[in-house]
Amino acid sequence: MPSPLSAADLIKSNEQAPGKLFEFQAQLPKLPVPSLEETLPKYLRTVEPLLSAEEFAQTKRAVEEFAQSAQGKELQKRLEARAAEPGRTNWLEEWWTELSYMGYRDPVTPYVSYFYSYKDDKKRRKNTQRAAAIVRAAWEFRRQVATRELAPEMARTTPLCSYSYNYMFNATRVPKRPTDYEATYDLAQNEHIAVVRNNQFFAVQMVHNGQLLSAAEIESQLDRIIAEADSSAAVPVGVMTSDNRDLWADNYKLLSDAAPENVATLERLQSAAFLVCLDSAKPVTREEIHRVFWHGDGANRWFDKSLQFIVCDNGRAGFLAEHSSMDGTPTCRLNDYILDQTLNDKVDLGSSSVRSDLPQPEPLRFVTPPPVVRAVDQAAERFSKVTGQHQLRVLQFEAFGKDELKRLGFSPDGFAQMAIQLGYYKLHGKNRATYEAAATRRFAHGRTETCRSVSNESVAFCRTFEDPAASSSDKLAALQAAVRAHGAYAKACSEGKGVDRHLLGLRLLLRPGEEKPAIFKDPAYAASSHWNLSTSQLSSEHFEGWGFSEVVPDGYGIAYTIRRDAIIFHIAAMINDFGLNCDHLGQYIKEAASEMRAVALAEKLKQAASAPKL
């Protein structure tokens, strides 16, 4: 049975576990509660560039009133008391998991999950051969997690929290009204993977007679699955996992109640180490490839599984993560490891022979009476409607990457953020609220804080670059100031000193019947967190990009990867009456990045020409 352990149970077991992975866990500091004196002036600086002078004056009055009020001090006192409660690891954790993930009822795909697109493996063109190598590498990473041999992640010399590794393997999200939950399974007792092909699920035991299956044996098992699945058809039950969470919770019960066999099938599927999706698709263009890994056809998936490795018939491969209990940095590490191992011939493939006594893969069949079939059909219709309402552009910007940006004196992330800001400004004529995810994993159970990318400096930079009268030196100075401001705010966020999580905590501690303070009723509070641009960076030299969706109907979702020689932007938005255009935004981001680089290079050449000759 699944084991939905409490946070206290898990962290206790982590501290007692031998090995490297959790060696610093007990020493990690708690997520701090910033003071009002820190947060409120910072909040004003973040909203000022988004407001008119009159609007900002109103917001400033509301903030000053809150700072001086007894209510503001009382809410701060309550939050500090919550953070200091014995046994509470992180004051934000339960709220954030509930509000952003488990209590969120829109479909996890496309709205919550995120994907990685892998570089091609030219040595493994056959789909099952590539999938087998990926499975072997992933299984070795799993072994290191299970034994705690895996070293904890470090930010230079600062250890990062390893807590989310509990939810990496043998884990799944489970639908339930009014809020979902995460189920984890014992790794030692569940040494199987799940595989799906042509909407049909199978289990493959990874250990036979005490010996791990070799890559050749895994490939043989996957070939067997394809042969069996492609010669038959099944009701695509997996598409129900793409649905609104309340509808899926109802249909989960419907499926479970339809037959006892379905309960056993769900248990076997959910307890698997991970899911391998063998897709019949053969995507070629970047947009086709990203579409497959982002959502596919909706049927050849189980979107609740924490890890899904996707391999297409033409050998293209990628990964899809369920976001509820894991952010991108641990899964980026996992996938970077897998690709380093497989693309650079480091993976241990085992023996090239295939044992003759391997058992057949175990079919995981669902009993699907008419009510279940109707539910599946309806979920499929909703999936097609939701994904059909989305547009996508992949911008593979290959003119330069992080190596050149560092030589020019820029933070690569800050430069990319300003390219997004200037591109948006070119298209829409103004700057709007922008979210960039900043990791807070230096704290126990830390996840993310909002890095607000729009600043007075970033707005001045956009206006300067679009001013035909501005000189090259003025433009460079504005760009450098904007990147510095972004870097300073990002650093504060990583230290738990952003504004969004603190203000959220204060607001959530209002008690029934208490009046909402003016700061939270002020239109600027909602407007400054209406993320017209939701952005995030995860980078690996082995990725051909990654992606997720927008978070508001009139906004874009922009995931980007900064490689040594390229920057890859995945730009997503809805097709609706707001008239957003991912193709146009991609073009303007490309223009912006080129202009920014040209200015920096011109000034560098000018400085070199004016330097004294020896």
The set of catalytic residues is 323
Helix (H) or strand (E) segment spanning residue 417 = helix 412-428
**Per-residue exposure over 98-125, b if at least 16 CB sit within 10 Å of its own CB, e if not:** eeebbebbebbbbbbbbbbbbbebeebe
**What residue type is assigned to position 417 of the chain?**
Q
β-strand 390-397 against 567-574: which pairing, if any? Answer: antiparallel
The count of other CB atoms within 10 Å of the CB of residue 515 is 8
Helix (H) or strand (E) segment spanning residue 140 = helix 127-147
Beta bridge partners of 536: 559
Give the span between the Cα atoms of 40 and 42, in whole angstroms.
5
CA proximity to 29, closest of 497, 369, 375: 497
Sequence length of the chain is: 614
β-strand 533-537 against 556-562: which pairing, if any? Answer: parallel
Give the span between the Cα atoms of 185 and 305, in whole angstroms.
12
Structure tokens at 589: 């981001």
**Per-residue exposure over 483-505, b if at least 16 CB sit within 10 Å of its own CB, e if not:** bebbbebbebbbebbbbbbbbbb
Structure tokens at 222: 């996957």
Give the span between the Cα atoms of 332 and 324, in whole angstroms.
15
Task: Give yes or no for a contact between 203 and 361, defined as CB atoms under 8 angstroms apart.
Answer: yes
β-strand 158-159 against 154-155: which pairing, if any? Answer: antiparallel
CA angle 214, 219, 222 (to 5 degrees): 130
Distances (CA, A) of 385 to 125, 199, 239, 298, 445: 33, 20, 13, 11, 36
Task: Give yes or no for a contact between 395 and 569, defined as CB atoms under 8 angstroms apart.
Answer: yes
Beta bridge partners of 450: 437
Give the span between the Cα atoms of 363 and 366, in whole angstroms.
10
3-state SS, one letter per residue, for 196-225:
EECCEEEEEECEECCEECCHHHHHHHHHHH
Task: Give yes or no for a contact between 420 and 483, defined as CB atoms under 8 angstroms apart.
Answer: no
Residue 41 neighbours by CB under 8 Å, 6+ apart: none
The count of other CB atoms within 10 Å of the CB of residue 251 is 23
β-strand 533-537 against 362-364: which pairing, if any? Answer: unpaired
Give the span between the Cα atoms of 461 and 403, in whole angstroms.
23
Task: Give yes or no for a contact between 235 and 372, defined as CB atoms under 8 angstroms apart.
Answer: yes
What is the three-class DSSP state of 323? coil
Task: Give yes or no for a contact between 507 and 520, defined as CB atoms under 8 angstroms apart.
Answer: yes
